[in-house]
A and B are shown apart, each in its own frame.
Chain A
Amino acid sequence: MHTQTYTATHLGDAPVVIDIKGLNKWYGQFHVLKDINMQVRKQEKVVICGPSGSGKSTLIRTINRLEEHQEGVITVEGTPLTNDVRHIERIRREVGMVFQQFNLFPHLTILENVTAGPIHVRKMPRKEAEAIAYTYLERVGIGEQARKFPGQLSGGQQQRVAIARALAMQPKVMLFDEPTSALDPEMIKEVLDVMRELADQGMTMICVTHEMGFAREVADTMVFMDKGQIVEYATAEEFFTAPREERCRMFLDQILNH
């Protein structure tokens, strides 16, 4: 049974950057992603939400092959995602990821964290990589902490460094896996500000988050997932004013009115 392919028709002719066809994933016998058909266009901001266990993190992790899928085809920037290592590495160069737990390298300085990708993967000379690193560190507001170690920074500062680290690879798409869920409330704003600015500058973003205020402002497309399948796919305006699905309405009620 094929579901329709979800695509942002409201963005007109923008080229498709990520194309997911018939994606099915199992953990052992457990069917965790069911028949996902979705397209993400250039400069589109997609926000995926849903109850826990709905498979939203799993979905974006399959895009850069942190999780393997058993059925279906994922194509990123024209490169199909298979077991071929070269394809995987090519895709990972173009797709940046920010994790919930930041995952900064604690034994390297902030600067070394950000230059690790450009130097070792893009094979840049150190000076050039450091220049790029400083640019992005300034953009996220952490320029003066470059010589410190991650253990010396607060959670919000660390997550901003993680964003800079992903940006330093100059990716075409940025994936965010619940970037503010591990932060204390007073630090959430600084990270969301950085993400907002990124969106304004035209980055293609796929974001899994519970921050509905942010989503309302920034998202082009809202995706609601439940039990492994896409239940609601709509523009941000439609989603927040008149969601079609009952489950989605209930979820929004809970999230927005607690």
Chain B
Amino acid sequence: MTEHSAPPRVPFWRSPTGRAWAFQAVMLGSFLWLAVSMYRNTLENLKTRGIGSGFGFLHSEAGFRIGEATGIPLPQGGFLYFLISLAVGLFLSRILARHLKARNEAPLETGWFGLCLLLSIGLPTATLYIFRDSVEIAHYTESSSYIMALATGLANTLKVAVIGCVASTFLGLFIALGRLSPNWLLSRLCRWYVELNRNLPVLMQLFFWYFVVFQELPGVKQSIDLGGWIILNKRGLFLPGLVPQQGAWLFVAALITALCGCWLVLRRAKRMRDETGEPGKRLVPCLLLMLGLPSLAWLAGGTPFLLDFPVLKGFNYSGGMGLTPEFTALVVGLTVYVSAFNAEIIRSGIEAVSRGQREAARALAMNERQVMRIVILPQAMRVIVPPMTSEYLAIAKNSSLAVAIGYPEFVSVGGTILNQSGQAVEIVGIWMGVYLCISLCISFAMNMYNARIALVER
């Protein structure tokens, strides 16, 4: 019988865990000391300079102009009901889908899927329509609070970020396809486009677009006029605007319903293809839906939108949708810059799929479209999505450079508030907090997507 003896007690300073703890204790201690002394210094410095602290100042009146005051829907009344019904609808449809999936493994029947769509999209749309009169959209004025100013700045940032992400993805896709094309000239051109844009700083490109391109545009009287639809001059880019009328809500609701209907039609066509080998009818029902439903809404509700063309009045164009040179330069500059990176990401994603995959698909007699759709793209997406998401994050962060060309986005507005109120610590904290939230949301979504499509291996 062997005796089990307890392991000898090792002196604290010789065991690995003991050392790790000692190290961490020192680290924590010095960090705390640093934090406390920084805190003390800050309080003292703020007192000497007569700067207040705390977040109460955010309610004070702003008193400065913001060039582009995007409307912000206030979280009360109609908009609030919309948000609640959206959350409820998504939650219910998710539970329904999960319950049905647990019962049988196959993808949802068209009918059940339609019900889920109804819950997650139809319900919020209907709620928004019913309560449309109580939706308030606030616009920033000089007498609004600092909070309103910051919210407007954030809305501007998001506007630029979303447009930039979408546009740069499409542009990047085109450039990537050009790069992959067998045409030597096109391929080289695209390569030089990418090399040019990737190796120049984004701020420099923004300056280029703003100072060199947009300031060199002709004055108002000699604007570049493309048939009255697009007008380009020193004061900005003018496009015809959509002015919502009586029938606007109904029209938009009908449009959304038509889109959902098309989704259902496509799903059903796919199921029929699975069952009989022949795809179900797709083109005619979709056309009917997309043209028919909105037309019915037009008849029932009256004209949905009026086109408001920009008209030259005095020294500037008024009416229509006017995009300032700052906004246009920012969007164009960011799009062009990021599209170069996106093109590289897409190209390397497609090339990362090994040649053997393409050969195996071709050996099965699949045509080029099928090879791309069934074999190459699904595998390429796994390689493309993570770096693409960092690029989207980069657009959101690079939009902060607008402070250098005077577009009033989040950092720009915050900078003005910082200069006015002097409360730098709070403003910098707000900046970091908001951008961190945006980053975390996008990362979270990306991680979920990645987990779902990860290749299953041993």
Contacts and interface: CB of A to CB of B under 8 A. Distances in A.
A3 interface: no
Contacts of B457: 149, 151-152
Nearest to A93: B365
Contacts of B356: 99, 101, 103
Interface residues of A, number: 36
A1 B76 CA distance: 90
Contact of B366 (A95, A121, A127, A166): A121
Interface string B365-403: 111001000110011001000000000000000000000
Nearest to A165: B364
A225 interface: no
Interface in B431-458: 453, 455-458
Given A105-B374, A121-B365, 20 more contacts: A66-B363, A97-B363, A103-B356, A103-B359, A103-B360, A105-B361, A107-B455, A116-B374, A117-B364, A125-B274, A125-B275, A126-B274, A128-B277, A151-B455, A151-B456, A151-B458, A152-B456, A162-B360, A166-B364, A169-B364
A166 B362 CA distance: 12
Interface in B302-338: none
Contacts of A125: 274-277
Interface string A147-176: 011011000000000100110010000000
B351 interface: no
Contact of B365 (A92, A104, A105): A92
Contacts of A92: 362-365
A227 to B, nearest CB: 25
A131 to B, nearest CB: 13
Contacts of A121: 364-366, 370
Nearest to B360: A103
10 contacts: A64-B363, A66-B359, A103-B360, A106-B455, A119-B274, A120-B374, A124-B277, A152-B456, A166-B363, A169-B365
Contacts of B30: none
Contacts of B276: 125
A254 B271 CA distance: 57
A101 B354 CA distance: 11
A101 B370 CA distance: 22
Contacts of A96: 363
B181 interface: no
A105 B370 CA distance: 13
B225 interface: no
Contacts of B41: none
Interface string A82-100: 0001000110110111010
Interface of A: 64, 66, 85, 89-90, 92-93, 95-97, 99, 101, 103-107, 116-117, 119-121, 123-128, 148-149, 151-152, 162, 165-166, 169
A66 B363 CA distance: 8
B357 interface: yes
**Chain B interface mostly helix, strand, loop or mixed?**
helix
A63 B361 CA distance: 16
B216 interface: no
B360 to A, nearest CB: 4
Interface residues of B, number: 28
Given A107-B455, A149-B455, A89 B278 contact: no
A92 B457 CA distance: 30
B262 to A, nearest CB: 23
B373 to A, nearest CB: 9
B370 A99 contact: no
Nearest to A94: B365
A105 B455 contact: no
Contacts of B362: 66, 92
B455 A120 contact: no
Nearest to A149: B456
Closest 8 CB pairs of A and B: A151-B457, A92-B365, A103-B360, A126-B274, A103-B356, A117-B364, A97-B363, A149-B456
A117 B361 CA distance: 8
A119 to B, nearest CB: 8
A89 B365 contact: yes
B366 A107 contact: no
Interface string B410-434: 0000000000000000000000000
Nearest to A106: B455
Nearest to B359: A66
A119 B374 CA distance: 11
Contact of B360 (A99, A107, A119): A99
**Residue among A106, A117, A152 having the largest count of chain B Cβ atoms under 10 Å:** A106
